[in-house]
Amino acid sequence: MKTYGVIMAGGGGTRFWPLSTKAEPKQFLNLSGKDILVNETIDRQSAFIDREDIFIVTNQTQAELMLARTDGRVRRDHVLAEPAARNTAACIGYAAMEITRKYGDGVMCIFAADHHIRDEQEYTRVMREAVRTVEETDALVTIGIHPTFPSTGYGYIKNSPIEGKRYRKVEEFVEKPDPDTAQSYVEAGCYAWNSGMFVWKASTILGYFERLLPDIYACLTEIGNAMGTAGEREVIQRVYPTIPKISVDYGIMERAKGILMLEGDFGWSDVGSWDTLDTVRKKDENGNIVSGDTLLMDAKNCVIYGKNKLIAAVGVEDLVVVEGDNAVLVCPQKDAQRVKQVVEQLEKSRKDRFL
Amino acid sequence: MKTYGVIMAGGGGTRFWPLSTKAEPKQFLNLSGKDILVNETIDRQSAFIDREDIFIVTNQTQAELMLARTDGRVRRDHVLAEPAARNTAACIGYAAMEITRKYGDGVMCIFAADHHIRDEQEYTRVMREAVRTVEETDALVTIGIHPTFPSTGYGYIKNSPIEGKRYRKVEEFVEKPDPDTAQSYVEAGCYAWNSGMFVWKASTILGYFERLLPDIYACLTEIGNAMGTAGEREVIQRVYPTIPKISVDYGIMERAKGILMLEGDFGWSDVGSWDTLDTVRKKDENGNIVSGDTLLMDAKNCVIYGKNKLIAAVGVEDLVVVEGDNAVLVCPQKDAQRVKQVVEQLEKSRKDRFL
């Protein structure tokens, strides 16, 4: 059975505001200095999936931009454009239906467009193992990340070994913990970070939709029946926005039995905010991460991103300074998560021109 | 005898970089939020000098911009354009010669274009007194500023009272002191800040040029002889750049005898750097001074100047954040003086496009 890549690129993410904006979300940022995140994701999957077999699910307003930015990496008919964001269950169901109707069936490797992997070789090895596991077992397989510190920013997967197997049994998905609980998880040794990477057959996951999320399944079927017909666009425009909004984690993973997990230890990061940038980019000798035209004098442990203008940083420490097209952000690294509040406040005060 | 205002606006000042640039120096900045510094200076002098009688000495590259920005405040033939910056003696000598040739003689009130006065009424009173003193005595008169704190950033004028007079006798001009010396000056009560404000007759100062700076006087005479003739521009272009570079303080004030001083206590400030901005602008309830589009969250005692973009400052204290057309500066208030180093480094590394 053929293996397909499914890259979820629906995010309008503003956690890297003011560099990321609604028009230019995180997946289009070149945070590593090498390429934009979505292209790094495609190229990483190309190590074990033919480029011809990679899909991207994005929203309609971004579809053309996606084709332009990915520069021929992905087939035009493999860019699936959602008319509305309906969370990850809808997104994955849409891709599964597309693969089923177009190619009969296939193993789907699902990955976010805007995450980062340090050790791509190990990543490829684990993903190949996951595909083999799906082919052997027909199970839902998820990739749990070996936790390198007691993160309170991720959900965890409690898991247990299965004798004689390289894959493990998922016992339970647990929410983002408080610091003490996170510490106990790491010490226990049987908890992995929930990275949102999944591998399964299109037919298998559609079976779960049918049993666990029948309302969504009905929508997907209506859309599937129209695929390849003249009415396809019209049906998608009409039906997709009515799909119940639910994540695949809540809708399926936390309710399905017999989910398997492969543990990955390959330097995964969701690159969630400016203060996590050291996962994708090396610091200089003073601990700074810089991009664009900068002039630093006695600056230490700063993230300095210039875009159109020179950024001069003098005598500052642990600071994030980012220039976007419409705004400049200055905050201590420890407050990097508060970018969300800034964006909310701009939305509330109708200053959308800065978003 | 008529009184003339002479505003020295030759500065290419970059102490307010990146808002001030070579093309847009400090005198053209609206730091107070009311008007640009040079217009505030003109309007302040208009209280005791007819606008028709105000001169501005600036450099040739800025002359047209000066006429545009001052918006009809100053007569075109009263904007004196230096072909090269030759320090304050040349600048004042040029203005004195112009007044002499055009109007015979006059009392000159000399003021920098980019300083600030809080109490304009008191300033007017002191300046009128200074003009009266010049008319009575024919002396060189300088305005010493009552020191409100032991500044190490200004030179001082040691002075003593003269019985029965409102003006005082200048004993000595002294250099910028170290902190202990500054403290002793303030305690002594007979030292005033040297603000660089002067009042004297054009004929009197030209007499001092003739005796103390004969080389400069020869240049000024050659220029003066050409004034009003067809060859004026040619002579200025040729002669002015050869005038020895010396300040009026070194060249005349420190060597002349019998200089008189009037003490001013009217909230004078040379607004020398970003951390002195509170002299021209009120802080908000969190101690911030802001301009342009800003979004502040838990920001305290900051100076935040946006120009084209929104500046979002989150969780920062005692910081200066300034956006200019070509650059953004971020530094603690205590390092505001280091802007000079930034500008020097940009010049050295030939990154003039950011200046």
Q: Give pLDDT tens digits along chain A (355 positions).
A: 999 999 999 876 678 999 998 888 999 999 988 999 999 999 999 999 999 999 999 999 999 999 999 999 999 999 999 999 999 999 999 999 999 999 999 999 999 999 999 999 999 999 999 999 999 999 999 999 999 999 998 999 999 999 999 999 999 999 999 999 999 999 999 999 999 999 999 999 999 999 999 999 999 999 999 999 999 999 999 999 999 999 999 999 999 999 999 999 999 999 989 999 999 999 999 999 999 999 999 999 999 999 999 999 999 999 999 999 999 999 999 999 899 999 999 999 888 888 8
The shortest C-alpha distance from A332 to chain B (Å) reads: 7
Question: What ipTM does this complex have?
Answer: 0.87
The CA–CA distances, whole Å, from B300 to A217, A303, A334 equal 53, 21, 17
Q: Could you please report the per-residue DSSP string of B217-241?
A: HHHHHHHHHHTTSTTHHHHHHHHGG
Interchain proximity A309–B331, CB inside 8 Å: no
On whether the CB atoms of residues B8 and B26 are closer than 8 A, the answer is no
CA distance B57 to A344: 50
Report chain A residues whose CB lies below 8 A from the CB of B319.
316, 330
CA distance B297 to A342: 8
Which of B328, B344, B350 has the most A C-beta neighbours within 10 Å, making it the best mutation to test the interface with A? B328
The shortest C-alpha distance from B53 to chain A (Å) reads: 42
Calculate Rg over the CA atoms of chain B: 21
Which of B319, B330, B343 has the most A C-beta neighbours within 10 Å, making it the best mutation to test the interface with A? B330
Secondary structure tally for chain B: helices H, strands E:
10, 17
Give the tens place of pLDDT for each residue, A149-194.
Answer: 999 989 999 999 999 999 999 999 999 999 999 999 999 999 999 9
Dihedral, B201, B202, B204, B209 alpha carbons, nearest 10:
150
Cα A94 from chain centroid (whole Å): 17
pLDDT of residue A149: 94
Give the tens place of pLDDT for each residue, A80-138.
Answer: 999 999 999 999 999 999 999 999 999 999 999 999 999 999 999 999 999 999 999 99
Q: In chain A, what is the straight-line distance between the N-terminal and C-terminal CA atoms, in Å?
A: 44
Q: Which of A309, A314, A319 sits opposite B342 (nearest CB)?
A: A314
Residues of B with CB under 8 A from a CB of A: 18, 293, 295, 297, 306, 309-316, 319, 321, 323-332, 334-335, 338-339, 341-342, 345-346, 351, 354
Q: Point out the residues of chain B with pLDDT beneath 70.
A: 12-13
Q: Which of B80, B104, B106, B94 is nearest to B4 (CA)?
A: B106
CA distance A327 to A314: 20
Interchain proximity A330–B313, CB inside 8 Å: yes
Interchain proximity B312–A324, CB inside 8 Å: no
- Which residue in chain B has the smallest CA separation from A340? B314
- Which residue in chain B has the smallest CA separation from A312? B329
Residues of A with CB under 8 A from a CB of B: 18, 293, 295, 297, 306, 309-316, 319, 321, 323-332, 334-335, 338-339, 341-342, 345-346, 351, 354
Burial of residue B71, with CB atoms counted within 10 A of its CB: 0-12 exposed, 13-18 middle, 19 or more buried: exposed
The shortest C-alpha distance from A340 to chain B (Å) reads: 11
Cα B60 from chain centroid (whole Å): 18
Beta-strand runs (E) in A60-165: 79-82, 107-112, 116-117, 141-145, 156-161
Interchain proximity A327–B335, CB inside 8 Å: no
The shortest C-alpha distance from B66 to chain A (Å) reads: 27
Cα B184 from chain centroid (whole Å): 27
Cα angle vertex B285, ends B283, B289, to 5°?
Answer: 30
Beta bridge partners of B3: B107
CA distance B238 to A266: 72
Q: Could you tell me the sign of the dihedral formed by the alpha carbons of B165, B170, B175, B178, in that order?
A: negative
- Which residue in chain B has the smallest CA separation from A304? B330
Report chain A residues whose CB lies below 8 A from the CB of B351.
293, 295, 310
CA distance A154 to A165: 26
- Which residue in chain A has the smallest CA separation from B352? A310
* A214 upstream amide cis, omega within 30 of 0: no
pLDDT of residue B12: 67
On whether the CB atoms of residues B315 and B304 are closer than 8 A, the answer is no
The shortest C-alpha distance from B325 to chain A (Å) reads: 8
pLDDT of residue A13: 67
pLDDT of residue A181: 96
- Which residue in chain B has the smallest CA separation from A339? B314
Report chain A residues whose CB lies below 8 A from the CB of B340.
none
Q: Which of B312, B334, B341 sits opposite A327 (nearest CB)?
A: B312
Residue with tokens 């998905």: A173
CA distance B257 to B161: 16
- Which residue in chain A has the smallest CA separation from B312? A329
Report chain A residues whose CB lies below 8 A from the CB of B316.
319, 330-332
Per-residue b/e over A7-34, b at no fewer than 16 CB within 10 Å? bbbbbbbbbbbbbbbeebbbbbbebbee
Q: Which of A245, A217, A271, A179 is nearest to A96 (CA)?
A: A217
The token pair at A161 is 């070994």
Q: Which of A297, A327, A351 sits opposite B341 (nearest CB)?
A: A297
Cα B159 from chain centroid (whole Å): 22
- Which residue in chain B has the smallest CA separation from A346? B295
The token pair at B341 is 């180093």
pLDDT of residue B13: 67
Cα A170 from chain centroid (whole Å): 21
Q: Which of A289, A293, A288 is nearest to A308 (CA)?
A: A293
Report chain A residues whose CB lies below 8 A from the CB of B324.
309
On whether the CB atoms of residues A214 and A252 are closer than 8 A, the answer is no
Which residues lie closer than 8 Å to B119 by C-beta, 6 or more apart? Answer: B266, B267
Among the residues of A107-248, which ranges form H helices? 120-137, 179-188, 202-212, 214-226, 232-239, 248
Own/partner pairs, A187-190, CB within 8 angstroms, 24+ separation: A190/A158, A190/A159, A190/A160
Report chain A residues whose CB lies below 8 A from the CB of B18.
309-310, 312
The token pair at A53 is 């077999």
Secondary structure tally for chain A: helices H, strands E:
10, 17
Which of A15, A330, A344, A352 has the most B C-beta neighbours within 10 Å, making it the best mutation to test the interface with B? A330
